């Protein structure tokens, strides 16, 4: 089989009202996405998305005429480009979509087939006042979620703790809460200092009192000793690694026992094939793997297949913070992914990734 064409379709969904992501200093008034379509000489077509693919046109020729089924060669090819420029993992997702269709199986089966569904956590994204965040947690619980992640801004930690406390009081103890400080990577141009270790330590101790399941990326990536101290002294689980730039970087964190939960995104960080190795390495050391998924619905789907295949846990991230972030906005160019009444996200049982592209939406939002 040969790749005959790789098409990048640039999409842009206007957001009105805007979405105020906690990690972004500017309100988001539009949501861009790039849909990767890979065509083959045998008529099989694969789709991927989840990163911008900016600059890919300069490297497209390296893939045309190659065999999409030789996936390790394709992964290595993508990694040679990562070294110099952008990370083109959405292409790998499209190739796995092809491989799954050729095999006649969901990609999750090719990754181990451990599960056909995973419990989802509502991953919120906005900084809300305590009362509003408590209401949102109750609403998430009412639609079936068994867990929610809450963002705390590094310059508003008291308010953040108050929001977690309010959510805990609202939902009770039979609902998991996680907290994300987003200190391990930065939006371009964000040069403010990270929280000092002593402050993170106090924050973690308060979150442990509130029964938080894990604290995500509380420190810069280099501060592995700090993360280990916080874990040892508070008993709180720490997670991280959603945006690491390579597999060796991720493996070094695992070998140092930096975290309890490792979260590389298959669309943004290490790709799908390499994420399986991360999962196996973490599991062998009695640690968790569960990927970051905050891109768009097709990125979420690629992460879901890997996560279900390798038995990720304890939950899968499900970006969800209505009205700012809904499955309809997140998945605007495809049939939206939803949770079932038990709070599980179910792996599509169609061959490949099982995405249902909404071609009318693609045509409408193409820029």
The footprint of Mg ion (CB under 5 A) covers 180, 216, 242
Q: Which residue is nearest to Mg ion (CB)?
A: 180
CB-wise, 180 or 344, nearer to Mg ion? 180
CA neighbor of 78 nearest in space, from 65, 60, 100: 60
In the bound complex, what is the minimum distance in angstroms from residue 363's beta carbon to Mg ion?
Answer: 33
In the bound complex, what is the minimum distance in angstroms from residue 367's beta carbon to Mg ion?
Answer: 28
Give the distance from CA 45 to its chain's centroid.
24
Half-sphere exposure of 366 (CA within 13 A, CB side): 10
CB-wise, 92 or 180, nearer to Mg ion? 180
Rounded CA-CA distance 217/15 in Å is 28
In the bound complex, what is the minimum distance in angstroms from residue 261's beta carbon to Mg ion?
Answer: 11
CB-wise, 282 or 334, nearer to Mg ion? 282
CB-wise, 242 or 321, nearer to Mg ion? 242
In the bound complex, what is the minimum distance in angstroms from residue 12's beta carbon to Mg ion?
Answer: 24
Rounded CA-CA distance 235/199 in Å is 16
Q: CB 162: neighbour CB atoms within 10 A?
A: 17
In the bound complex, what is the minimum distance in angstroms from residue 66's beta carbon to Mg ion?
Answer: 34
CB-wise, 49 or 183, nearer to Mg ion? 183
In the bound complex, what is the minimum distance in angstroms from residue 123's beta carbon to Mg ion?
Answer: 8
CB-wise, 223 or 242, nearer to Mg ion? 242
């Amino acid at each position: 089989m040969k790749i005959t064409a790789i098409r990048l379709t640039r999409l842009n969904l206007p957001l009105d009202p805007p979405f105020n992501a906690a990690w972004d200093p500017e309100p988001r008034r539009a949501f861009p996405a790039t849909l990767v379509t890979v065509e083959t000489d045998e008529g099989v077509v694969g789709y991927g998305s989840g990163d911008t693919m900016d600059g890919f046109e300069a490297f497209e020729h390296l893939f045309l005429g190659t065999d999409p089924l030789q996936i390790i060669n394709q992964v290595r090819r993508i990694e040679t480009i990562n070294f110099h420029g952008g990370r083109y993992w959405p292409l790998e997702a499209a190739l796995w979509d092809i491989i799954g269709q050729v095999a006649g199986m969901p990609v999750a089966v090719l990754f181990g087939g451990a599960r056909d569904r995973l419990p989802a956590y509502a991953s919120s994204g906005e900084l809300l006042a305590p009362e509003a965040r408590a209401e949102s947690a109750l609403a998430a619980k009412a639609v079936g979620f068994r867990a929610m992640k809450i963002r705390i801004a590094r310059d508003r930690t008291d308010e953040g703790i108050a929001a977690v406390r309010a959510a805990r009081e609202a939902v009770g103890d039979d609902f998991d809460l996680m907290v994300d400080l987003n200190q391990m990577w930065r939006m371009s141009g964000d040069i403010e200092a990270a929280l000092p270790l002593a402050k993170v330590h106090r924050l973690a101790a308060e979150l442990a009192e509130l029964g938080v399941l894990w604290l995500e990326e509380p420190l810069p990536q280099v501060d592995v000793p700090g993360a280990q101290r916080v874990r040892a002294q508070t008993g709180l689980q720490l997670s991280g690694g959603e945006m690491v730039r390579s597999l060796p970087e991720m493996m070094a964190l695992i070998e140092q026992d930096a975290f309890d939960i490792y979260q590389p995104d298959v669309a943004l960080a290490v790709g799908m094939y390499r994420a399986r190795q991360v999962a196996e390495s973490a599991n062998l050391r009695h640690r968790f793997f569960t990927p970051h998924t905050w891109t768009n619905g097709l990125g979420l789907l690629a992460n879901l297949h890997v996560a279900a295949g390798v038995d990720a846990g304890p939950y899968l991230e499900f970006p969800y913070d209505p009205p700012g972030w809904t499955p309809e906005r997140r998945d605007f160019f495809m049939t939206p992914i939803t949770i079932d009444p038990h709070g599980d996200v179910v792996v599509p049982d169609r061959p490949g990734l099982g995405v249902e592209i909404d071609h009318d939406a693609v045509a409408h939002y193409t820029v």
